[in-house]
Every structure is written in C-alpha cells, then in structure tokens.
Amino acid sequence: MGDKHVDTPSDERSLATQIWGLLGSIKFAVGALLLIAAASVYGAMTPPAQATEKVWHSLWYRSLLGIILLSAVVCTVDRFDGVLKRIRSPRVGVATKVVQALRGYKRVRFKGTTEGAAAALTSHFSRARYSVLAENSEDGGVSLLARKGMSKLLGAPIVHVSLVVIIAATIWGVSPSLGSYRQVIQIREGEFTHERHSGIWVGCDDFEIVYSEETLSEPAHADIKTYYKVSEYISKVTFYEEVALAEAERIVETIPQTEPREGSDWPFTLAVEAKRDKGGVAPHIGGSLVGLRATDRAAIRVNQPAHVQGHDFYQQSCDIRALRVTVTTAKGARESHDISLRLDRERGVSYQPTLVPLLIEERGTSDGNDETPAMAQMPGRMVGVTAFAQRFEKGMPLTAGQHMAPSPAVRLEEISIDEAGQVLGQQLGWVQEGQAMSVGAGRFAFDETIYDTVLEVRRQPGVWLLIVGFAISGVGLILAFWVPMREIRAKIISQAGEVEVLVGIPRSYRGDDVSEIVAGAVKALRGVEPLEGVRRRAT
C-alpha cells in the first residue's frame, strides 16, 4: 500500500480522484489495517455462533476486508510504474550537490583522467556484482550509478498482487456459482447416502475409532494407570455410481425421511441395503430402489481425505447414533433392534435412548405379569433401554473420564403399566457392550454401538489458485525483506588536470556498512595519491 500523493488541489479534484487518492494513501491503509485487527479481536472474543453472524459474515466486516483489498490494488497500480521506472531507467546523472548530501559521502582528488577513474570504479563494482550505469554530464564529468538487488523493489507490489490472488481464490472457493461447494453428510455404518452435488453414492462400510493406550508414569489416581487417547477416526467407505437394477452390485432402498438428522446439511438421501425375499427385491420401508455399482473405496482419516472424481471427502466428526440390541424371547424367537440415541444438550454431552418396548417373554410363558388390566393388553413381558453410558466401570456409569477405556453400557428396565395406565420402569441392571442379561426365560444382549460418520464433501476448483497466491506472496516477501539492495552514486569531475571523485550512498539505505562500501569504492582508485584528505565521518 503506497504513499502516492496527488498534488492537485483538493477542491479541483473529482470525487473519483479523491477516493483513489484516499485508497492509495498509506495513512488510510494503516488505519484500515488496525481497524480490521481490532474488529478481529472483537470477533475472536465472541462465541463462535454469534461471531459468525455478527462479525465474520457481516456486511461491515466484509466491507472492511474489501476496502483493504481495494487499497492494496490502488497502491500497487499507483506505485508499480514508479518501481519499474526506477529499475529499468533510473536517473544516473545528478548534480554534485546531490552526491554531497548522500550517506557516507567521501571525496578524493588525484591526477588522472575521468575515463580512468570511471573504469576503475566500474571494474570494482562489477567485481562486487553491481550493475553499473554511467552517464556523461554536461559539465564534462561522469556520473556513475552502481546497483544490485534492485528486484527488492518488486517485493511489495508482488505481495500486494498475491493478496489479490489469494482473496480471488477465496471468493472462488466459497462461490457455488463458480463451481465450489461444501456439504456435510452423515452416514450410519451400513447405510448409504447420495451426495447430491457430485451425484456420488457413498456407503459407510465401517467406522472405527482407534484408541491408543498410554501408561502414566505418575498416575493421577490409583485405579487409572493407563489412559486412552483417540489415535484415529477411520471411515471405511465405498463410492458407488447409480446403475440400472439389473446391472447393480448392490440394491438399496431409500429411507423416507421426515426430519433432518442432527448436525447435517439437509436434504440428502439416505438408503439402506434393500431386503430380499422370495419374490426378489422389493421396497420394504416405503422408499424406492436404487441400483449401485462400486467405483472406489477409501479409508478416510483426519489429514487423509479421499479424492474422488474431483471431490474431496474429509473426516469431520462422528457421533454415536444407535445401539444394536438383540432380544431372544422365551420361545426362542430372536430379533435384532437398533435403538436410536438423541443427544441431550441440556445435560451436556449425554445421550438419551429412545424407549422402545421389547417383548422378551411372551404371554403365557411366565406368571405374575398380568397384574393390571392395562398390562393384560400387553403381548407379554416387556423390557426397554432407558439409559446409555459411554463409559461404565466397576458396576457404575461414569459421567467424566474421557481418558478411560471406552466401555459403553445400557441400563435395562422392565416396563410395566399401572392401573392408571402409566408406564413404569423397574431397573434390571446395566448391560455392557458385547454382554447379555437373562430376563425371566428370555435374554437381552447389547451387541454394539452404531456410529454415524460425518464427512465434509468439498469441491474446490480454486484451491490451485490459492496455492499460487501463497507461492507469489512467498516470492514477494523474500524479495521485499531478505534481498539486500545496494545503490552507490559516484560523480567524477575533471578539474585542471586533476580528477575529483565524489562517492555516496542514497539515504534510503539504512544498513550499517555504508562506510565499508564507500571505503571499498575509494580503495578501487588505488595507486592514486589523494590530493586532499577524505572528509571524516564521525563514528
């Protein structure tokens, strides 16, 4: 952001020129930068949901970003010509008094010719990898300009250009009209979803949380000597294309949805493996049948997205969504059920299972259950899952202890109905995952917890532009800050058979080695005895 000043009196300037001048002003740029820094502090201290709405996506914040960008563009345009001119055709010939005002200015006189002095200095600077420009002055002297590292001047404009590229790439990245999109999909193990933008069907074959055990050298509690840490979240997925049912490897049935699943972008189509019966494949749950053929498989991890047909699938999060239980009735009938879990936000991260009455002992296989008229209407002895604990240790559920081994358990209750028709529960006990409990002549087993994996699907056609922007900014920053730039001016004047050489360095150079550079130039005129002492620089 440059420091261009428009010299025209303000009252004569058009509004556009005034705005241009304002945007190109460095004071304006610094003010805008500090203002956006302050706004960002405010946003960073605001809870995320509010910050997104009130700050990051607000018109005023975006306007500030736009102004900064505009300022960068104006400054670059304003200054670029001057920079190019300074690099390509710098002013070589300068008046003597200009050289006298330079840093580290020195003057030497000796017998010789201007050509000889110019040749000696040119040779010296060329050896030191300077490019040397010479110009004859009207007064018969020669002006020399030795320079190196002039590419430094391009650094700031290049960084400004890179900002424009990065912001353009960002806008591309969030603009659906330009081919970018982002969607979050949520798939339960064993289910399928149709990602609508890509047209790809994704099936979650398995979702796994890998834990690593770490032994504590100084255990915080006598019972906790090992703690568990999530090592990986792995979604093993298969990508499918839709084909005719006759050509399908798998046939799925879409699930009619009535409400969105929590935490998902909506709508998207979910499906389960279609059931086959004697008559072949037919819809069982009111959905429609879709034929699928696998095209790719991937194990998606955090930091290891899957790239499929120009789309990226990222592991975003996961959640426990259901409990798979099996009930074996007294008569030996065995049925598997998935009991849905709902996240109870009022009680923190706590899951509440849906109460599903499960018949475990048919009427007539046991006595003493038909105590009320209401219960007499029931088909037999019923049980239900009334609580779920992610960690269950030593006979009790734990509310904390995220560093402990994951050991889910469910609380089983026998469901009865009192005379008033009220549903009552009587606790039977906790059943851990993989274990079973006998209830009368029946049996209840908690088979497994069923996870939903949450994947983020993105199409980012502009990501290459973002990387290009980053690379350009790297080049610009290296040029601007790390490339050393040197400029030395010399004026050689012939005076009555003697030659006077004046050497100095522009004041824009802030290095500490000014005296060394100038001394080196003077030394290049060795073999010539100076006629007058060199003007001493205070050190």
Partner 1 sequence: MGTQQLEFLEMRMYMLALPAFVLGGVVLLAHLLLAGRSARTFWVGWGFILVGLLALVTSLVARGLQPATPRLPLTTMFEITVLVQMGAAGTLLVVLPRAKELRSAGPFVLAVVAALWAYGYSKHSPPEQELVPALKSAWLQIHVATAVLSYGPLFMSGVTAAMATVMYLVGGRYTEPRLPAEDGGEALPSVADRFEEWTYRIIAFGFPWLTALIVTGAIWANYAWGRAWGFDPKEMWSAVTWLIYVAYLHARLRSGWRGLQASALAFSGLLAMIVTYLLVNWLVEVFHLDSLHSYAD
What residues line the site for partner 1 (CB under 8 A)?
1-3, 26-27, 29-30, 33-34, 36-37, 40-41, 43-48, 51-52, 56, 103-104, 156, 170, 173, 182, 212, 214, 217, 229-233, 301-303, 305, 312, 314-316, 456, 458, 463, 466-467, 470, 473-474, 477-478, 481-482, 510, 512, 535-539
Which of residues 130 and 233 has its CB atom nearest to partner 1 in the complex? 233
Opening angle at CA 534, ends 123 and 510, nearest 5: 70
Which of residues 259 and 512 has its CB atom nearest to partner 1 in the complex? 512
Which of residues 52 and 422 has its CB atom nearest to partner 1 in the complex? 52
The contacts of residue 398 (CB under 8 Å, 6+ apart) are 389, 391, 392, 404
Q: How far is the CB of 480 from partner 1 (least distance, A)?
A: 8
Rounded Cα gap, residues 289 and 269, in angstroms = 12
Per-residue tokens: 196: 């609508």
Tokens 């409400």 map to which residue?
A: 259
Which of residues 76 and 416 has its CB atom nearest to partner 1 in the complex? 76
Rounded Cα gap, residues 473 and 478, in angstroms = 9
Rounded Cα gap, residues 438 and 355, in angstroms = 19
Which of residues 71 and 254 has its CB atom nearest to partner 1 in the complex? 71
Q: In 3D, which of 124, 116, 105 has the Cα closest to residue 523? A: 124
Rounded Cα gap, residues 341 and 523, in angstroms = 86
Q: How far is the CB of 291 from partner 1 (least distance, A)?
A: 30
Which of residues 105 and 392 has its CB atom nearest to partner 1 in the complex? 105
Beta partners for residue 459, in sequence order: 181
Q: How far is the CB of 270 from partner 1 (least distance, A)?
A: 21
Which of residues 180 and 369 has its CB atom nearest to partner 1 in the complex? 180
Q: How far is the CB of 225 from partner 1 (least distance, A)?
A: 13
DSSP 8-state assignment for residue 10? G
CA distances 257 to 260, 268, 285, 323, Å, are 7, 9, 11, 20
Rounded Cα gap, residues 210 and 75, in angstroms = 53
Which of residues 104 and 291 has its CB atom nearest to partner 1 in the complex? 104
How do strand 280-281 and strand 276-277 relate by DSSP bridges? antiparallel
Q: How far is the CB of 321 from partner 1 (least distance, A)?
A: 20
Q: How far is the CB of 105 from partner 1 (least distance, A)?
A: 8
Q: In 3D, which of 86, 127, 79 has the Cα closest to residue 485? A: 86
Per-residue tokens: 303: 């930091």
Q: How far is the CB of 24 from partner 1 (least distance, A)?
A: 11
Which of residues 198 and 254 has its CB atom nearest to partner 1 in the complex? 198
Which of residues 90 and 474 has its CB atom nearest to partner 1 in the complex? 474
Q: How far is the CB of 519 from partner 1 (least distance, A)?
A: 14
Q: How far is the CB of 57 from partner 1 (least distance, A)?
A: 9
Rounded Cα gap, residues 212 and 227, in angstroms = 8
Q: How many residues are recorded in the chain?
A: 539
Q: How far is the CB of 1 from partner 1 (least distance, A)?
A: 6
Mapped onto helix, strand or coil, the DSSP state of residue 145 is: strand
CA distances 421 to 100, 375, 416, 500, Å, are 107, 8, 9, 116
In a 10 Å sphere around its CB, with 0-12 CB exposed, 13-18 middle and 19+ buried, how is residue 270 labelled?
Answer: buried
